[in-house]
Structure 1
Amino acid sequence: MSRAYRISVKESLSRHVQVEDGVSSSLELLPILEKERMRELLAAELAQRGFEREGNTASRKEGGGITVEINLESGEVTVTAEGHRSVNLETERNAVVEEDRDNVQARELHLREVAKQALEREAAAEQETLRREVTERLEGHLRDVREELDGVVNRVTGTALKQRAAELGQVEEVHEEPNGNLTIKVRV
């Protein structure tokens, strides 16, 4: 004789989600002075802008989980953004089974599996949402970083040109314009 059985299954999922996104490019420094001196000029200019040097790398952590790293040897710039989120999900599944008692356990296992799969899909959706947020944050920050690093390259180039001019002869006049133009008058 078969009876109706009511099955109720609750499942939960707790997970810490972490995503990271990044982009790399390189600084184009003209070889005005020998490599070591150019690297030291770059490191000094970056230090004035809050970068911390560790070996051949200068880095700065910024708000929103964004980190800017510059390899002083190669000029490679890496900007990364990361995000973290705790995900706590719950679901409940119910079913009425009009079968014999032996099939109730199989049906309960099936309901649990369906609930777990639904939770995994929800967790993946949360992770993808976080990934999009991190990418948007990174893209919004890149323009500012590019402008700042362009300014760094211009200042390093200007300083290197002044030092090179002093090596060539007596510097009589230096004229720097706000747009970045630099005129150096040297007596050789």
Structure 2
Amino acid sequence: MSRAYRISVSESLNRVVQAEDGVCSRLELLPLLGREELAGLLAAELERRGFAREGDVAVRTEADDVRVAVDVTTGDVSVTLAGRQDVSLTAHADGASQTQGGSKEELDKLRGRALDKLEDQAKDAQEKLREELTLQLEGRLRDLKGELDAVSNKVTAEALKVRAAQLGTVEEIHEDAATGSLTIKVRV
């Protein structure tokens, strides 16, 4: 009568998992001026708020690694957050064998099952990191939305002033910061 032996294989994996999450939107800018003029006003306002120009894109990286990019020609906004994490994982696979220590085929099969478990664990770690980034990004979006709305309002106000000057002589400008209203008196 043959005897069954219990065999066990253990595998470990050290990996850096990376994840990224982001959201895209567009600034609501009225077409009061030509595209180039409006892009210039938007770029200037973003630079006042700490953005750096990289071609047609104004970029700012926040202290919490949130990256905000605004295409000044189209008004497209991209807010992204990337992260990386070192993970050390271990997986075990058990089986039975007719020989002590198991045959090479049996050990390879168990090793394959252990490696599959490690890959699943690594995917789970990456998904968990992505979920953490999503929560962090959602928290920052509320603050950024208010700032980007303010940028849009400021650029629209400046575009109105420029357009008014193109139409005639500006006699009076009244801005109410509390309500956000703007009154421009123009002699045509």
Q: Same fold (TM over 0.5)?
A: yes
Shift in Å, 1:103: 5.2
Check 1:102–1:52 CA distance in 2 against 1; reply closer, same or farther (3 A cut).
Answer: closer
Shift in Å, 1:110: 2.5
Name the structure 1 match of 2:186.
186
Number of residue pairs matched by the alignment: 187
Name the structure 1 match of 2:73.
73
Name the structure 2 match of 1:146.
145
| Structure 1 counterpart SS, 2:86 | strand
| Structure 1 counterpart SS, 2:180 | coil
Name the structure 2 match of 1:129.
128
Q: Distance in 1 between matches of 2:18 and 2:166?
A: 52
Shift in Å, 1:88: 1.1
Q: Distance in 2 between matches of 1:176 and 1:102?
A: 84
Shift in Å, 1:65: 2.8
Shift in Å, 1:101: 5.4
Name the structure 1 match of 2:18.
18
Name the structure 1 match of 2:37.
37
Q: Distance in 2 between matches of 1:102 and 1:52?
A: 63
Check 1:2–1:30 CA distance in 2 against 1; reply closer, same or farther (3 A cut).
Answer: same
| Contact 1:5–1:104 (CA under 8 A) maintained in structure 2 | no
Structure 1: segments with no counterpart, 5+ residues: none
| Structure 1 counterpart SS, 2:82 | strand
Give per-residue Cα distances to partners, 1:139-158, cap 9 Å, x unaligned.
22222222111101111111
AA of the residue aligned to 1:149: L
Shift in Å, 1:170: 2.8
Shift in Å, 1:102: 9.2
| Contact 2:7–2:102 (CA under 8 A) maintained in structure 1 | no
Q: Distance in 1 between matches of 2:144 and 2:136?
A: 12
Comparing 159-168 with 117-126, greater Cα deviation is found at 159-168
Shift in Å, 1:6: 4.9
Q: Distance in 1 between matches of 2:34 and 2:20?
A: 36
Shift in Å, 1:21: 1.5
| Structure 2 counterpart SS, 1:64 | coil
Q: How does 1:45-124 map to 2 (within 5 A)?
A: 45-94=45-94, 97=97, 99-100=98-99, 104-124=103-123
Give per-residue Cα distances to partners, 1:5-57, cap 9 Å, x unaligned.
45342211111111111221111211222221111000000000011011111
Shift in Å, 1:127: 0.8
| Structure 2 counterpart SS, 1:50 | coil
Shift in Å, 1:3: 4.7
Q: Distance in 2 between matches of 1:144 and 1:153?
A: 15
Identity among equivalent positions (%) equals 51
| Contact 2:60–2:67 (CA under 8 A) maintained in structure 1 | yes
Q: Distance in 1 between matches of 2:74 and 2:142?
A: 22
| Structure 1 counterpart SS, 2:139 | helix
| Contact 2:7–2:101 (CA under 8 A) maintained in structure 1 | no
Q: Distance in 1 between matches of 2:77 and 2:22?
A: 10
| Contact 2:171–2:187 (CA under 8 A) maintained in structure 1 | yes
AA of the residue aligned to 1:42: L
Check 1:35–1:15 CA distance in 2 against 1; reply closer, same or farther (3 A cut).
Answer: same
